[in-house]
């Protein structure tokens, strides 16, 4: 076995979907996996594209979302290192249900649909693990719907900023303020709302010292205060 195939097997084995598969079986997929490198803001696939590949993020961050009827972007989720995406269309053979975009320089491990389905046909017991991954996706979609229905705009914005902090917030010191290098327009697009609405809330938070606004970035000074908007007493 070559070093590159062994590395791909290790990456696949680190995921919930493939983690319990014996190494001898996982090699069947590892030898067929391909590495893809993307620049920041590069599109991986668009809604309606054929579902011909399943992806694993090995470096960087991927945004999954769609355009609303008004032309605004709505974010379904952020896919981090070690997480899979694109598996739904790969399994049912249908079109992509959302767009996937690299948020920063990103490396992916890709498996062709024919290789995944062929593997599951040879080893049907492994399909149960894939069902668990799909159920997790459904739960995330339910959480998003619940946020839209029950959370106020400040609550939705606070929750999203906390998610962004967890995915790619940067700190100069471990317990210091976190900086998110996204513009207010980008954050508004993630939530499918107007920049003006986001700016109105953020400006109030800046006056209260909760955040600091800069060009193309938002610094979270008091994450505890943001958490109070998400889970009010």
173 within 8 A of 180, measured Cβ to Cβ = no
Tens of pLDDT, residue by residue over 82-106, are 888 888 777 788 889 889 999 889 9
Please give the residue that has the higher pLDDT: either 27 or 3. Answer: 27
- Ordered by where they begin, the domains of the chain are 3-148 (2.60.120.10), 151-230 (1.10.10.10)
pTM: 0.68
CB of 119 closer than 8 Å to CB of 62: no
What's the first-to-final CA gap in the chain, in angstroms?
A: 57
Cβ partners under 8 Å of residue 169, min gap 6 = 178, 179, 180, 220
On average, the pLDDT of the chain sits at: 84
CB distance 126 to 120 below 8 Å: yes
- d(C-alpha 120, C-alpha 220), whole Å: 45
Q: Give the pLDDT band of residue 231 (cuts 50, 70, 90).
A: confident
Please report the pLDDT score of residue 219 as a whole number: 92
């Amino acid at each position: 076995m070559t070093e590159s195939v062994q590395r791909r097997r290790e990456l696949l084995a680190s995921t919930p979907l493939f983690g319990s598969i014996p190494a001898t079986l996982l090699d069947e997929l590892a030898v067929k996996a391909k590495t893809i490198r993307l620049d920041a803001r590069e599109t991986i696939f668009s809604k309606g594209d054929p579902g011909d590949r399943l992806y694993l993020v090995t470096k960087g961050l991927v945004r999954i979302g769609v355009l609303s009827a008004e032309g605004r972007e709505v974010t379904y989720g952020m896919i981090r290192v070690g997480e899979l995406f694109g598996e739904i269309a790969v399994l049912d053979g249908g079109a992509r249900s959302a767009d996937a975009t690299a948020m920063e320089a990103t490396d992916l491990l890709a498996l062709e649909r024919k290789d995944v389905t062929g593997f599951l046909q040879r080893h049907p017991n492994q399909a149960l693990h894939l069902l668990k991954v799909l159920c997790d996706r459904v739960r995330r979609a339910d959480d998003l719907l619940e946020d839209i229905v029950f959370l106020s705009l400040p609550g939705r914005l606070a929750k999203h900023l906390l998610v962004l902090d967890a995915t790619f917030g940067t700190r100069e010191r471990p317990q210091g303020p976190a900086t998110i290098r996204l513009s207010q327009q980008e954050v508004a697009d993630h939530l499918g709302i107007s920049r003006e609405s986001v700016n109105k809330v953020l400006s109030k938070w800046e006056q209260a010292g909760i955040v600091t606004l800069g060009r193309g970035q938002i610094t979270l000074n008091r994450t505890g205060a943001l958490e109070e908007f998400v889970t009010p007493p």
